[in-house]
Amino acid sequence: MRKTLALKPPSFAALVQQFFTEYLVAQRSVSPRTVACYRDALLLFLDFACRQLGKAPTSMRLADLQPDLILAFLDHLEQDRKNSVRSRNLRLTALRAFLKFAGRRDVASLHDVERALSVPMKRFERPMLNYLTRAEMVAVLGQPGESWSSQRDYLLLTMLYNTGARVSEIIGVRVVDVVLDGAACVHLHGKGRKLRSIPLWDATVAGIRSWLRLNPTLLGEAALLPNRDGKAMSRSNVAQRLDLAVSRAGVEQPGLLKKRVSSHILRHYMPFPTISGNEDKRL
């Protein structure tokens, strides 16, 4: 009678590698940003787990991922790293995705995976979204100054206001993504690789034309709104420039200094564009 050789389950290290190379990239084709988010979550967890368990990552097993360890990691994120509940839940989402994948590759550990997946997301209150008055919005936009950075920042804020786009979408805009002739629009590359086209107002088109005349080397695949090194701006860079604009506008509109103004606020202030695609007549 022939003996059936039992297949050896993959090691924990092999599961982590397969999760990224085979599942996320090859099968799901998720965006590089999502891969980076999941990578950071697992790196944080492995670093914490190794210290708690006294094991190297190569020595870990799925059975080590007990609910108590995961809950301790999530508490560490909130208490020691001062992460918000939203960030905590994002890290847990990445862990859960890995566990579901691992359970399909190592069926002998399904019970351990099931117990680990029982750790719930944490509920939290969503704060009421702040808003800007028309006068405050006009003050934040301001007028383009003489310096290179001032003119870039003005166009940055104008495009955020015009399009209602996420920061990641705006800093990802390339020169080739902007259509200025005919029905002017900008092609945005959003979350989940979604593409959408947003009409541009006449004032925005004029601002882009002026910016490109000032920077004749910005062509094709180049970032429309680069930093001093010619690369795309970062999210923290945009937040810094917006904070400067709000501080400047606070002289004219003191109420701004009592508000937490973020790019998300600008997204929700976006008016409905007119049929002709012209700028908001309230401004």
User: How big is the chain, counted in residues?
Assistant: 283
Catalytic one of 39, 55, 76, 166:
166
In this structure, are residues 177 and 232 in contact, taking their beta carbons and an 8 Å threshold?
Answer: no
Catalytic one of 86, 191, 196, 268:
191
Backbone φ/ψ region at 31: left (φ over 0), alpha (ψ -120 to 50), beta: beta
282 labelled catalytic: no
- How many Cβ atoms from other residues are within 10 Å of residue 114's Cβ? 11
111 labelled catalytic: no
Tokens 């990224």 appear where? 20
Q: How far apart are CA 48 and CA 83, in angstroms?
A: 15
Catalytic one of 193, 235, 264, 268:
264
166 labelled catalytic: yes
187 labelled catalytic: no
Which of 43, 37, 67 lies closest to 57, judged by CA?
43
Residues marked active site are found at 166, 191, 264, 267
